[in-house]
Structure 1
Amino acid sequence: MDSVTLFCFTFNCAQVIHSPKTIQKGLKKALNGTLYPDIVFLSLQEVGPIYDVFWGLGQSYVDPFIDAVVNLTTSNYSLVSQCSAGLTFGLLFQRKNSQVSISDVQTSSVTFGYFETGLKGAASVRIKVSDETTKLGPVELTFVAAHLAANEGYKHLRDHNFRDIARKLAFFNDTKHKSRSFLYKDNAHVFILGDLNYRTALPRQTFVQGIAAPDTTPPKWSQPSSSYVDDWFQYDELTKSRQQADAFIGFTEPTLGFAPTYKFTDSRDYSRRRIPSWCDRIMYIDAFVSNSDQKVPPILVSEYTSLPDVAGSDHIPVYALITVPLAQPGILAPEIVQKLSSKDIAVSSESIPIVASLRGVDRADRNGLPAVIARQIKLQDRHIVARNSRIKNTEKLIGVVVYLLQTTIGNEILIGFGAGLISVTIYWMFRSNES
């Protein structure tokens, strides 16, 4: 075989547990009539309640998805890697009877929710794949599960979140962390998928299950075309961010032809509280220049659509079936590298070795590094240190607060504490009057 087949799936789980049978049924419908892919990558956001996940109790919410994929076919899949960034998880599977060999598994994560916590973030897996029979490869693949800033009117925050992902994800090439690479890298395919939260950029009052006819009071609503794309997609924020190079520089999205995937009510109608939007997306870098005389075949996307069969959330999941040639894609195009540099985003280039840390690096060698690379290494090191201390402690504190405010038991604790405090206060007031 001269290519590897991928199934990429993204789903905002709405912080509830899902049935493995329901998930598996949806996945099988998506794969109906196709050969089961060599690699499956799931991007899961809001996997479980904040208090459970932040206190390390979120695995029970992830296990149904693992069970659904592991037992997807008679040939079965094996879990290669699980990575997480707070409430966002990435799961990578390999089909057991596949000719594809996976090696050099690396993971990285970045969080950028309130106080840099994992309320929002990105979890990533980087692997090398090759064909055991034809000896083609290895080719490097990076999968990023992402959940960006929410709410309408915050495109600038989502753009900033992407730049955090591009700058702070650090992949260390060995256990001793002697060298590292960045998200953007020569000869490395990158796939990013998740609840990217980009909205349809029109005032909310112009939408109620359709587009308002002008100059009517009250407004009259007309249903859009069956796919909604013709009427609404021109206002999509993510497309504008890509076109203006505000975010996702060098990324390509397959042709989108499905209806908005957010926000739904329990009855699976669009909620009037939000503008229907394509929040859930899948993209990949397609900005390479071949560094050989041989032209590299392009990435092929045979299907890119939503999967309404998987319910239980106010989002509808999205998936893509992708074929990647087992050949080096080439170096990143110079104009892409220039645009990235203007956003202070560094690229791992074969011509510039990336040191693991600026600590211990001779000053002359350090001064020889491009400034954008030196700044990015410092930024990554600071985030890694913060993730292992301050941010984790903040997440636990947030978990406690959310538990007290959002659960029945937590409310009872607060009421009991409040009642006890009032009783003590009254007691001391009477004691003071008696004396």
Structure 2
Amino acid sequence: MAVNTTNAASVNLYILTFNCGRALIDVNAFASQLFDGLEPPMLQPPDLLVLSLQELAPISHAFIGGSFLVPYFQRFHDAVQSAAAIRNLGMTAIMVFARNPSAIQDIESAGVGVGMAEMGNKGAIGVRFTYGHGSESTELTFVAAHLAAMEEEVLRRNQDWKNIVRGLVFSSSTKAPANTASSAENRPLLSISPQDASIYKSTSHLFIAGDLNYRTSSMSPSPSDHIETFPQPHQDASSPKHISSLFERDQLNKERAAGRTLHGLTEWPVRFPPTYKYDSKEPFLTPDEQLSKWHWAKHRWPSWCDRILYLEIPPWMDSHNNDFKLVAKRYTALPLQPTTDHRAVTINFRVSLIPIPKPGEEEETVSRDPRVHPPFDIDINWKSRRDRARTLELVVGFAAYFATTREGNIIVAATFVGIVGGFYVIKALLME
């Protein structure tokens, strides 16, 4: 199916994934590094900025949600300004910022937990919308994901991905989110068809960004590995300790090649150092070329946990039409921030504003593109499972809040004093 266009308009898209370490970010530090992943020279900000955030806040705040998360969103909002869409699912969140918010139409959202009892300590949150107007527009789907941790849990990560594909079901929002940090509240949802609700919608681009947690070993390091094996800056490419040798053991590439995860998705070549796990040591905010040492945590293999993948242009688009493009410009890791043991990862795209048509009958029959034949069917019970998990999140969230925070301790103490005081007042009145 050909698309005949000339001189197609495009959108400059910038995606950043960042594991926040359950801490409030340093606004100035984050802002100083935010756009360093753009292809220089940066003459103006990107048209769209998408932040995929994991471990956004402590469980007590993340599971309760609502106003408890406003301070965490607000710091990112202060660093970027003018948010177009903000959503969270437990500890994973997505924020979309646009230079021209009116270009965003038909917003849809989705969320699924894949942690314990399907709660959102691990999981995915998605936002889908049309960017542009009329014939100069295209549909974009962004998914922020956080999969199971630990070196040995590669099969669990694959299962998490399967559960995300089955349970991340997009539904239309009744209105576009407001340009405020408090717009993270859930809104009423409308039902749409299973095909259009899938993460692999046939007419949409798809970008996956997050802490996917795939490691470079299936076992924890030995006590001497951090000295003998862990990579360091300025090592020669021929050295067995060079990052390229470590990347050959990357679980994500192996599992993708075997068809067990991130089905059909592409990753731009990885040229940056491992993004996890760092000790919190100076210097922070320093580019790799200025570092003499990477301070690795000794008990975890340095790994490329934080990744961004995408679907290529579908095969039913005219491959000879030079106007239809999805071009990755730069894929890199930003310097270490002072509040987390992960490094943020960014990618810059130029995406043509041309609608992706539905596949024709021939493509429906022969195409292997996951937009046509997704690797897993949608779980028909996704809504009831999410509602049940949300109830558990509130129970766990409030329990953690009362048990682990100063504010919660004060409320518990005040409640206890009030109950005891009330008991003695009633007792005194009954004795009169």
TM-score using structure 1 length: 0.75
* Counterpart residue type for residue 102 of structure 1: I
* Structure 1 equivalent of residue 343 of structure 2: 316
Contact 1:125 1:144 in 2 (8 A): yes
Residue 138 of structure 1: CA displacement? 2.4
Give the 5 Å matches for 1:294-313.
295=321, 297-313=324-340
Aligned match for 2:111, one of 109, 112, 127: 109
Partner secondary structure for residue 209 of structure 1:
helix
Question: Within the alignment, does 1:24 sit opposite 2:28 as a pair?
Answer: no
* Structure 2 equivalent of residue 428 of structure 1: none
Residue 411 of structure 1: CA displacement? 8.1
Alpha-carbon distance between aligned partners in 1 of 2:74 and 2:139, rounded to the nearest angstrom: 27
Identify the range of structure 1 (253-262 vs 288-297) with the bigger mean alpha-carbon deviation.
288-297
* Counterpart residue type for residue 382 of structure 2: H
* Counterpart residue type for residue 166 of structure 1: V
Identify the range of structure 1 (195-204 vs 221-230) with the bigger mean alpha-carbon deviation.
221-230
* Counterpart residue type for residue 154 of structure 1: E
Alpha-carbon distance between aligned partners in 2 of 1:66 and 1:416, rounded to the nearest angstrom: 34
* Structure 1 unmatched runs, 5+: 71-77, 213-220, 347-375, 418-435
Question: Within the alignment, does 1:327 sit opposite 2:354 as a pair?
Answer: yes
1:166 and 1:211, CA in 2 relative to 1: closer, same or farther beyond 3 A? farther
Question: Within the alignment, does 1:14 sit opposite 2:21 as a pair?
Answer: yes
Question: Within the alignment, does 1:260 sit opposite 2:269 as a pair?
Answer: no
Which structure carries more relative contact order (alpha carbon 8 Å, separation 6+)? 2
Contact 2:110 2:170 in 1 (8 A): yes
Alpha-carbon distance between aligned partners in 1 of 2:74 and 2:9, rounded to the nearest angstrom: 33
TM-score using structure 2 length: 0.76
* Counterpart residue type for residue 208 of structure 1: D
Identify the range of structure 1 (310-319 vs 320-329) with the bigger mean alpha-carbon deviation.
320-329
Identify the range of structure 1 (313-322 vs 325-334) with the bigger mean alpha-carbon deviation.
325-334
Aligned match for 1:33, one of 29, 41, 45: 41
Alpha-carbon distance between aligned partners in 2 of 1:105 and 1:329, rounded to the nearest angstrom: 17
Contact 1:194 1:282 in 2 (8 A): yes
* Structure 2 equivalent of residue 336 of structure 1: 369
Q: What percentage of aligned pairs have identical amino acids? A: 31
Contact 2:59 2:91 in 1 (8 A): yes
Partner secondary structure for residue 60 of structure 2:
helix
Alpha-carbon distance between aligned partners in 2 of 1:336 and 1:138, rounded to the nearest angstrom: 22
Alpha-carbon distance between aligned partners in 2 of 1:308 and 1:223, rounded to the nearest angstrom: 15
1:409 and 1:80, CA in 2 relative to 1: closer, same or farther beyond 3 A? closer
Question: Within the alignment, does 1:43 sit opposite 2:57 as a pair?
Answer: no
Contact 1:173 1:179 in 2 (8 A): no
Give the 5 Å matches for 1:13-412.
13-31=20-38, 33-34=41-42, 35-56=44-65, 57-70=68-81, 78-96=82-100, 101-130=103-132, 136-173=135-172, 175=174, 176-180=190-194, 181=196, 182-201=198-217, 203-205=219-221, 208-209=225-226, 211-212=228-229, 225=235, 228-267=242-281, 269-286=295-312, 288-292=314-318, 295=321, 297-329=324-356, 331=359, 334-337=367-370, 343=375, 345-346=376-377, 376=378, 379-380=379-380, 382-388=381-387, 390-403=388-401, 406-407=404-405
Alpha-carbon distance between aligned partners in 2 of 1:232 and 1:329, rounded to the nearest angstrom: 38
* Counterpart residue type for residue 270 of structure 1: W
Identify the range of structure 1 (142-151 vs 262-271) with the bigger mean alpha-carbon deviation.
262-271
Alpha-carbon distance between aligned partners in 2 of 1:282 and 1:82, rounded to the nearest angstrom: 19
Alpha-carbon distance between aligned partners in 1 of 2:373 and 2:169, rounded to the nearest angstrom: 16
Contact 2:201 2:371 in 1 (8 A): no
Aligned length: 363
Residue 42 of structure 1: CA displacement? 0.2
Contact 2:24 2:72 in 1 (8 A): yes
Partner secondary structure for residue 226 of structure 2:
coil
* Structure 2 unmatched runs, 5+: 1-7, 175-189, 283-294, 416-432
Alpha-carbon distance between aligned partners in 2 of 1:285 and 1:161, rounded to the nearest angstrom: 19
Please tell me the root mean square deviation across aligned C-alpha atoms, in Å. 3.1
Alpha-carbon distance between aligned partners in 2 of 1:338 and 1:141, rounded to the nearest angstrom: 13
Contact 2:151 2:219 in 1 (8 A): no
Alpha-carbon distance between aligned partners in 1 of 2:110 and 2:313, rounded to the nearest angstrom: 23
Alpha-carbon distance between aligned partners in 1 of 2:281 and 2:319, rounded to the nearest angstrom: 56
Partner secondary structure for residue 392 of structure 1:
helix
1:293 and 1:116, CA in 2 relative to 1: closer, same or farther beyond 3 A? closer
1:261 and 1:309, CA in 2 relative to 1: closer, same or farther beyond 3 A? closer
Contact 1:26 1:309 in 2 (8 A): no
